[in-house]
Structure 1
Amino acid sequence: MYWTEFFTVALIHLLAVASPGPDFAIVVRESVAFGRRTGLFTALGVGVGILVHVAYSLLGIGLIVSQSIVLFNALKWLAAAYLLYIGIKALRARPAAEQAPLADTPHVQRSPRAAFVTGFVTNGLNPKATLFFLSLFTVVINPHTPLAIQAGYGLYLSLATAAWFCLVALLFSQARVRAGFARMGHWFDRLMGAVLVGIGVKLALTEMR
């Protein structure tokens, strides 16, 4: 009897996750810059980050945050600061000719844990995701739907998000794609940095409605 509700949730989520945002930008950048494994772990981090939003939506904490200007602004500025930090680092990317040979720079490789944390924090601190999941669990999902069913929806949303961004990581970590960015990789980094900075600034200026 909950299939109609589930398909509604799945469709809304599909439209939301396919829209370019900080999650997409960070997965693309990590995949191009560090390769397939890093991109996949970043995507998994984003997917697990969804569970944070699901958890507080089920607990009702999301409603408290959405109604508190102080808490909402604190989350918003923290997320904006994180995106600005990542974006500014990307903007400072140097041309390949100025970098040390690849064999001499093992430190530039991203560990799976670091990639996962990057994806997790990027999604977990996104206040727009907070409002999205709050509206999803209070408007779209019937409050009389059993908690176990709602938790099942949340698990699906997490898995679907991870799957989507894993596909994005696989696409942008392909050898041909990475090779295409090899010579102008620093410009790509700077472009993605500008996107992240732009999202961060826009986020910081977003007012609670």
Structure 2
Amino acid sequence: MELSAYLPQLLSIATLATIMAISPGADFVMITRNSLVYGRRAGVYSALGVGLAIWIHVAYSIAGVALLIAQSVVLFTVIKYIGAAYLIYLGYQSLRAKHHIALDLAHKAAPSKALSACSALRQGFITNALNPKTTLFFLSIFTQLVSADTPVAIQLVYGLIISLAHLLWFVLVAMFFSHFAFVHALQRYQRLIEKTLGVILMGLGVRVATLSQ
């Protein structure tokens, strides 16, 4: 197996994965919210959850389920509605939250109500795993750019590239939105920002529910 033979596909997938990662969507809003409200640790763990969830999409794509999803309106609709419901749930949580960010003497953001690493990772994982936008991305990659003759090892490399692109981008997002200077500047607007992000998450949920295959 010559890796160089697949270099054009590798470059194409790396480019598409980068565009996919940085395009605003549910993952971005969720990680922005967790980083701003709960701090850098929560944001990074949420990013890790997104990176891990990518492998769910890789697994079903390699197994051939991607083709089944592409051809099954019912299956895609079930995934779509579950994902939409979860986004609306996260948005509702933001709207009803009563905690706020406090700045300690070490000049670090210290949320008054912490989000555990496990909860942050779970939110990132579920948000991406049930994201129809990500599902559609993998459907296009593995039903058009990847042929039946592409070795599984190469497909795993594709998955690794996509996973790393998402992980690196969202870690950067988490670091930016949890930076002390940024949090300090927006502290007085934190409640408004959190509720706004909650509305956006709920809006994304509604949009996902109306998404066509």
Q: Same fold (TM over 0.5)?
A: yes
CA RMSD of aligned residues (A): 2.1
C-alpha deviation, 1:92, in angstroms: 2.4
Determine whether 1:174 maps to 2:160: no
Task: Could you tell me which runs of 5 or more consecutive residues in structure 1 were left unpaired when the two chains were aligned.
Answer: none
Residue 69 (structure 1) aligned to one of 47, 67, 73: 73
Checking the alignment, whether the CA contact within 8 Å between 2:99 and 2:112 is kept in structure 1 is no
Checking the alignment, whether the CA contact within 8 Å between 2:47 and 2:124 is kept in structure 1 is yes
Q: Which amino acid aligns with 2:133?
A: K
**2:22 aligns to what?**
18
Checking the alignment, whether the CA contact within 8 Å between 1:22 and 1:199 is kept in structure 2 is yes
Q: Distance in 2 between matches of 1:128 and 1:176?
A: 33
Task: Could you tell me which runs of 5 or more consecutive residues in structure 2 were left unpaired when the two chains were aligned.
Answer: 105-109
Residue 36 (structure 1) aligned to one of 32, 36, 40: 40
Q: TM-score, normalised by structure 2?
A: 0.89
Q: Deviations for 1:77-124, whole angstroms, at most 9, x for unmatched residues? A: 11010000111121224485xx99x9xx98820110100000000000
User: CA 1:191–1:13 in 2, change beyond 3 Å: closer, same or farther?
Assistant: same
Residue 132 (structure 1) aligned to one of 123, 133, 137: 137
Q: Deviations for 1:156-202, whole angstroms, at most 9, x for unmatched residues? A: 21122111100110111100111122111110011101111111001
Q: Distance in 2 between matches of 1:171 and 1:31?
A: 8
Identity of aligned residues (%): 42
Checking the alignment, whether the CA contact within 8 Å between 2:17 and 2:161 is kept in structure 1 is no
Q: Distance in 2 between matches of 1:81 and 1:28?
A: 19
Determine whether 1:57 maps to 2:45: no
Q: Which amino acid aligns with 1:27?
A: I
- Bigger drift between 115-124 and 189-198 goes to 189-198
Q: Deviations for 1:15-60, whole angstroms, at most 9, x for unmatched residues? A: 1111000000001000000111110000000010101001100001
Checking the alignment, whether the CA contact within 8 Å between 2:52 and 2:163 is kept in structure 1 is yes
**1:193 aligns to what?**
198
Q: Distance in 1 between matches of 2:128 and 2:99?
A: 29
Q: TM-score, normalised by structure 1?
A: 0.91
**1:78 aligns to what?**
82
C-alpha deviation, 1:143, in angstroms: 3.0
Checking the alignment, whether the CA contact within 8 Å between 2:42 and 2:115 is kept in structure 1 is yes
